[in-house]
Amino acid sequence: MGAELMCTVRIKGATTAGKATLETEILHFRGGDIRLAIRFKDIKTVVARSGMLNVASADGRASFAIGDAAAKWADKIRNPPSRLQKIGVKPGWTACAIGVDDREFLKELGSGCARLSIDRAITGCDAVFFGVTREAELSRLEKLKASLKPNGALWIIRPKGRPEISERATMAAVMAAGLVDVKVVGFSTTHTAEKFVIPVSARGALA
User: pLDDT grade, residue 207 (50/70/90)?
Assistant: low
Residue ranges of E strands in 13-147:
14-22, 26-31, 34-39, 43-49, 52-57, 60-65, 94-98, 115-118, 125-131
| Distance (Å) of CA 71 to CA 4, 76, 97, 188 | 15, 9, 38, 27
Tell whether the model's pLDDT for residue 2 goes beyond 70. Answer: no
Name the residue type at position 29: F
pTM: 0.74
* Residues 123-167 pLDDT 10s: 999 999 999 999 999 999 999 999 999 999 999 999 988 888 988
* Residues 65-123 pLDDT 10s: 999 999 999 999 999 888 999 999 999 999 999 999 999 999 999 999 999 999 999 99
Helix (H) or strand (E) holding 168: helix 167-176
SS3 5: strand
Determine contact, residues 9/62, Cβ cutoff 8 Å: yes
Question: What is the DSSP pairing of strand 94-98 with strand 60-65?
Answer: unpaired
